[in-house]
Structure 1
Amino acid sequence: MKAIKNFFEKTQPHVQKGAKFHWLHSTHDALFTLFFVPKNTSKSGTHIHDFIDLKRTMGIVVLALVPALLFGMYNVGYQHFGALGQLETASFFDLFLFGLLKVLPIIVVSYVVGLGIEFIFAQFRGHEVNEGFLVSGLLIPMVMPVNTPLWMIAIAVAFAVIFGKEVFGGTGMNIWNPALVARAFLFFAYPGQMSGDSVWISASGIDKAVDGFTGATPMALAAAGHTDALNTWNAFLGLIPGSIGETSTIAILIGALVLIVTGIGSWRIMVSTVLGGLFMGLLLNIFAGDNSYMALPFYDHLIIGGFAFGAIFMATDPVSAAQTVKGKWIYGFLIGLLAILIRVVNPAYPEGMMLAILLMNTFAPLIDHYVVEGNISRRMKRAKVNV
């Protein structure tokens, strides 16, 4: 590491303003600060210094995503060899390696396209490279079906970075979660690849007789009325068809623990989102009648689809979420409520979590506004009474 540090420090003068390679300043700074904490010091005013900067914060989120990512790779292989009827003969290594080889290209495309656009914008504006894509670049592959063509991934990433973030000014200024913007773009532009019976697994490359095999997700089965096909324990473990990182509730809960312990993720949003989902699930159970989807046990809604992943990693995005304490409770509760309502009442959108979070991203500033105004109003009333 010392050699890397020496290299960056030696080349730093050559990328400063007025130097020969000044146009590479943003790129050099981004790579340097990725490995080492900057030595910048305060010049004026009062500052609070902390060893955790934005890059380190993003690093913790990436670390929290690792359990769900690794299990997602294993599950890709599990579903593949299960479709071939070869689970008994395939080893753990066979399953994981197959999933790794399927998922890794998606991650590479996401980071290459996304960071490439980020670097171009930073160089053009003369600004530092934003760190937010360190997380978005991993979130986007994890919310995608594994058989999504790489060119679709590239288009979705480009759309999310340009129209979901850069047009608003970059990291910290975006209205919506960029990863969900990418998924929403593909969902509406190429619905056949993102929903329905052919959403998940391709068995090509092993046996030509099963080339193109696809397995319906639990969400698609539930929307079709086949709620009895859901195995609750398998769904909780994550051994079900689904997007790469969204299937294992256990792995997602490990990530939630990391975010809560480190103080990076808001536990209020996580808890309130679950409460909102439970409330709507129970309400639908009460009025289910002959509707099998409404009769699906309320707790099953929390472990299928992208509910758990969205509640932990998407709804808690500090940029697009509510900022006030009371606002976080309201924001999260409405996300959970709307997610279950959308997926059950409108089967055309079996995964309601994406739409619920994007909708509440839009209204988060309004929620905070009324919370702040309410606090001001109460304080003014108390001030008049004391006078």
Structure 2
Amino acid sequence: SYGVGLGIEFVFATIRRHPVNEGFLVTGMLIPLVMPPDVPLWQVAVATAFAVIIGKEAFGGTGMNVVNIALTARAFLYFAYPTDISGEVWTYLGEGATAVAGYSGATPLAVAAAAAKGTQVVNEFNSFGSTWAPGIYSFQSLFLGTQPGYNGEHSPLMCLIGALILIVTGTGSWKIIVGVFGGAYGMGLLLNILAGDNAFMAMPAYYHLVIGGLAFGAVFMATDPVTAAQTETGKWYYGILIGMFTVLIRVFNPAYPEGIMLAILLMNVFAPLIDYFVVSANKTRRLKRATV
């Protein structure tokens, strides 16, 4: 990602006669973290080129992009090469001094999406892999990140540590992070009430916070200062809507059990509109106070 992305940055910097911005140093690190570990490198290169050229340089370069560049690269692979990026199957490599044993299985989100009506998703998690990797999908394992997953997404604990660093340094907005988690949890609770015999809807809401890439997206993607909402009130709406849409996409989109990528990209597009309504509401309140 660095080789292709920085190469394109150098080309556009030369053409436009401006210095190379260091922004891609962060993006180039995030792109591999949202990819499966076995994705072909040429696909990463093509996705990076698409994201930088179409998602960034076409809009004017650093600071002018509308959508998150790393997620744009991932979205490109998802739609162009869905079998390689869907993330529904992983391989578990067994431990031991002898020959390594390999196992393939569904991700937690795929297990939840495939749960039969009237069953308990938590029971499906606890029983999954019981013969060869007991507890691989227990809540503790999902929170700590000891289960297989994407390069950077499968440990909510590490993501929370990263969130603390971003908040302390003032790099990321705590309102957006809390909003994403709160929106996802709230939508999960609402679906629990409306679940009926739908197993995925009935899954405890707090499980949505530790499965898939929600934690990683909330901390490192939704807080992108260029594509996120800029007003303080707007950040709450922006984060909450991302969390809500993530859970809705997970539960009601059978073709794509994860939803954080699409939710963030969707709200990237609507972030300026959120800020517009927040600013307009503030102006209206001030005008009313001024005329009293």
Same fold (TM over 0.5): yes
Number of the residue aligned with 1:245? 152
Percent of aligned pairs with the same amino acid: 63
**In structure 1, distance between residues paired with 2:12 and 2:53:** 9
**In structure 1, distance between residues paired with 2:253 and 2:204:** 18
Q: State the Cα distance separating 1:216 from its structure 2 match.
A: 2.2
**In structure 2, distance between residues paired with 1:185 and 1:259:** 27
Number of the residue aligned with 1:214? 104
Residue 383 (1) aligns with residue 290 (2): yes
Q: State the Cα distance separating 1:335 from its structure 2 match.
A: 0.3
**In structure 2, distance between residues paired with 1:114 and 1:207:** 41
**In structure 1, distance between residues paired with 2:92 and 2:138:** 22
Matches within 5 A, 1:98-247: 110-195=1-86, 197-198=88-89, 200-201=90-91, 214-225=104-115, 227=121, 228-229=124-125, 230-247=137-154
Q: Which amino acid aligns with 2:246?
A: A
**In structure 2, distance between residues paired with 1:308 and 1:257:** 13
SS for the counterpart of 1:215 is strand
Residue 341 (1) aligns with residue 255 (2): no
Which of these residues, 222, 225, 230, is aligned with residue 323 of structure 1? 230
Q: Which amino acid aligns with 1:355?
A: L
**In structure 2, distance between residues paired with 1:196 and 1:136:** 21
Answer whether contact 2:153 2:213 (CA < 8 A) is retained: yes
Answer whether contact 2:36 2:87 (CA < 8 A) is retained: no
RMSD value over aligned CA atoms? Answer: 1.8
**In structure 2, distance between residues paired with 1:196 and 1:223:** 13
Number of the residue aligned with 1:355? 262
Residue 286 (1) aligns with residue 193 (2): yes
Q: State the Cα distance separating 1:225 from its structure 2 match.
A: 1.2
Q: State the Cα distance separating 1:364 from its structure 2 match.
A: 0.3
Aligned length: 272
**In structure 1, distance between residues paired with 2:17 and 2:99:** 52
Bigger drift between 214-223 and 294-303 goes to: 214-223
Q: State the Cα distance separating 1:210 from its structure 2 match.
A: 6.4
**In structure 2, distance between residues paired with 1:279 and 1:325:** 21
SS for the counterpart of 1:165 is helix
**In structure 2, distance between residues paired with 1:143 and 1:168:** 23
**In structure 2, distance between residues paired with 1:363 and 1:217:** 30
Which of these residues, 216, 230, 233, is aligned with residue 309 of structure 1? 216
Q: State the Cα distance separating 1:217 from its structure 2 match.
A: 1.4
Which of these residues, 172, 175, 182, is aligned with residue 265 of structure 1? 172
Higher Cα radius of gyration: 1
**In structure 1, distance between residues paired with 2:3 and 2:99:** 32
SS for the counterpart of 1:289 is coil
Q: State the Cα distance separating 1:188 from its structure 2 match.
A: 0.8
1:273-302: CA deviation from partner (whole Å, max 9, x where unpaired): 111001100011111111111111100100
**In structure 1, distance between residues paired with 2:272 and 2:55:** 17
Structure 2 regions of 5+ residues with no counterpart?
126-136
**In structure 1, distance between residues paired with 2:214 and 2:74:** 15
**In structure 2, distance between residues paired with 1:337 and 1:123:** 42
Q: Which amino acid aligns with 1:150?
A: L
**In structure 2, distance between residues paired with 1:313 and 1:112:** 22
**In structure 1, distance between residues paired with 2:35 and 2:179:** 25
* TM-score normalised by structure 1 residue count: 0.68
Answer whether contact 1:260 1:266 (CA < 8 A) is retained: yes
**In structure 2, distance between residues paired with 1:196 and 1:365:** 31
SS for the counterpart of 1:374 is helix
Q: Which amino acid aligns with 2:185?
A: L
Structure 1 consecutive aligned stretches of length 4 or more whose deviation exceeds 2 Å:
200-203, 206-211, 213-216
**In structure 2, distance between residues paired with 1:382 and 1:112:** 55
Matches within 5 A, 1:33-72: none
**Structure 1 residues 373, 197: CA separation in 2 closer, same or farther (over 3 Å shift)?**
closer
**In structure 2, distance between residues paired with 1:311 and 1:145:** 19
**Structure 1 residues 207, 366: CA separation in 2 closer, same or farther (over 3 Å shift)?**
farther
Q: Which amino acid aligns with 1:133?
A: F
